[in-house]
Amino acid sequence: MNTKKYCAAVIGLGCGLGMLTLSACGSSGSGSSADSKTVTLVSHDSWAVSKSVLADFEKQSGYKVHVLKDGDAGQAVNKAILTKDNPQGDVFFGVDNTLLSRALDNGLFQSYEAKGSDRIKPQYRVDQDKHRVTPIDSGDICVNYDKAYFSKHQLTPPQSFDDLVKPEYKNLLVTENAATSSPGLGFLLGSAAKYGDGGWQGYWKKLKANGVKVVDGWEQAYNEEFSGSAGGKKAKGDRPLVVSYASSPPAEVVYADPRPKTAPTGVSYGTCFRQIEYAGLLSNAHNSKGGKAFIDFLVTKEFQEDMPLNMFVYPVIEGAAVPKEFTEYGPAAKNPETMAPAKIAANRDQWVKSWTSLVLK
């Protein structure tokens, strides 16, 4: 298994820690946004695209793409806000619906309506009056389970939020810190959507009493604590339940060598929260023209169909095909929990503060 590529891919919607600066081909390099022939993309660590697809854009547009990968989604967004007056790049990819209001309220993006944005499915569109961001992909944050563990113990895997607090699942779940991790925050928002403003704290009290373990980020949770991961250390963890993505089982299959006939992990679809990622033209971008061309590229059918097996997320445009690995091993949730961006904006910081006091202290 290509462990490095696996980790970057399944981190999915930006959950790793630390900072990494890479060129588009994966090697270190330098690029300048001031160069009118260079477009600089700032993203979280899980950005990936097939070389041939990126080469098509560069050939057709005349622009060379330089990529700066800036850690997890939260870290990358915060750094972009701090540097918005003299941005590192032209386009930012990877701000999601859990953090979107923070980016918009801080003036991170300028208005641009992407060519081809009329093909984006209506349920993903936001900020329609100003067009400061363009939806690029979606994914579902869900509890994953280790099939072998549950088969060995003749125990039915949990299927819902309610199941996770039952005695038979005591000390089995590991999740990420809602203050430091995108999936951790998504799982918290999913519980708030499920149980409401007055009920989610009581739910987390039960989850804590049932032995939930909290770690900083996805990589530690999935590759060190989760018993079903094949992408991490040789010594697997002992927790057969982990907060990850509905697309994690396909990744387990795709990066396995040899490929198994069935995914070794499954998804508890009653625990899912829908996450959407956006791209935007950075305020004060040095190469706005090139940045606009790149955002147009992100909503082309070529890129949207290339994206699933590179970043393990779903396309958002009408007519984009989804690979068979997704439909067979990790279909999207049919009824995920969702939350309006305005409600996330109004409550996120206080909820995280309350969650931290409740769960970590």
For position 114, what pLDDT does the model report? 97
Q: Is residue 83 located within the same domain as residue 149?
A: no
Q: Is residue 31 located within the same domain as residue 77?
A: yes
Structure tokens at 184: 């951790």
Cα 303 off chain centre by: 17
Q: Is residue 215 located within the same domain as residue 297?
A: no
Structure tokens at 12: 């999915």
For position 233, what pLDDT does the model report? 53
Q: Is residue 287 located within the same domain as residue 340?
A: no
Q: Is residue 16 located within the same domain as residue 158?
A: no
Q: Is residue 211 located within the same domain as residue 349?
A: yes
Using CB atoms within 10 Å of the CB of residue 25, give its burial: 0 to 12 exposed, 13 to 18 middle, 19+ buried. Answer: exposed
How far apart, in whole angstroms, are the C-alpha atoms of residue 205 and residue 34?
A: 52
Question: From the CB of residue 128, how many other CB atoms can be counted at a distance below 10 Å?
Answer: 9
Q: Is residue 144 located within the same domain as residue 259?
A: yes
Backbone angles phi, psi at 208, to 5 degrees: -65, -45
For position 231, what pLDDT does the model report? 63
For position 17, what pLDDT does the model report? 31
Q: Are 80 and 263 in contact (CB under 8 A)?
A: no
CA angle 213, 237, 223 (to 5 degrees): 90
Q: Is residue 212 located within the same domain as residue 262?
A: yes
Low-confidence ranges of the chain (pLDDT < 50): 1-6, 8-33
Q: What is the CATH number of the domain that holds 173?
A: 3.40.190.10
Beta-sheet pairing, 64-69 with 38-43: parallel
pLDDT tens, residue by residue, 271-321: 999 999 999 999 999 999 999 999 999 999 999 999 999 999 999 999 999
Residue 317's domain comprises 3-139+275-327
Q: Is residue 263 located within the same domain as residue 174?
A: yes
How far is the first Cα of the chain from the last one, in angstroms, to the nearest whole number?
A: 38
Question: How many domains does the chain divide into?
Answer: 2
Q: Is residue 96 located within the same domain as residue 147?
A: no
Q: Is residue 258 located within the same domain as residue 316?
A: no
Q: Are 183 and 74 in contact (CB under 8 A)?
A: no
Model's pTM, two decimal places? 0.84
Q: Is residue 108 located within the same domain as residue 186?
A: no
How far apart, in whole angstroms, are the C-alpha atoms of residue 196 and residue 312?
A: 30
